[in-house]
Amino acid sequence: SAVISQKPSRDICQRGTSLTIQCQVDSQVTMMFWYRQQPGQSLTLIATANQGSEATYESGFVIDKFPISRPNLTFSTLTVSNMSPEDSSIYLCSVEIAGGPGNEQFFGPGTRLTVL
């Protein structure tokens, strides 16, 4: 498994501003993921972040709105840009650990974002 921390754990932001969320892992991992979880909803994958390459975004998510950095094998950031109330959600990072017939994903505790 892996120990994953996220900062901040929660924030309240004003419309039009940006917030950068940090994800730190206690071991080196190749694949990191960013998800959004809206109240009562499932997890929606925003993008996959591999070290040394551009992040791969899912349909409906764009780099200008959700820029991602992956400077090394233990760290990633997700920025939520030009925020609106619709961006209020929980943002989660996860990592993939190789092993077994499939590669399990382990999640951080999440960042609870409220946009006013």
Partner 1 sequence: QKEVEQDPGPLSVPEGAIVSLNCTYSNSAFQYFMWYRQYSRKGPELLMYTYSSGNKEDGRFTAQVDKSSKYISLFIRDSQPSDSATYLCAMSPYSSASKIIFGSGTRLSIRP
Closest approach, Cβ 36 to partner 1, in A, equals 11
> Distance between CA 101 and CA 99 in Å, rounded?
7
Q: Considering beta carbons, is residue 13 or 31 the nearer one to partner 1?
A: 31
Instruction: List the one residue from 4, 80, 83, 115 that touches partner 1 (CB under 8 A).
Output: 4
DSSP assigned state of 1: -
How far the first Cα of the chain sits from its last, in Å, is 36
Is 107 a residue that touches partner 1 (CB under 8 A)? yes
CA torsion through residues 78, 99, 58, 54, sign? positive
31-70: which residues touch partner 1 (CB under 8 A)? Answer: 31, 40-43, 45, 48
Q: Give the pairing type, strands 31-37 and 43-50.
A: antiparallel
Closest approach, Cβ 34 to partner 1, in A, equals 12
Summarize as ranges the residues that interact with partner 1 (CB under 8 A).
Answer: 4, 31, 40-43, 45, 48, 92, 94, 96, 100-110, 112
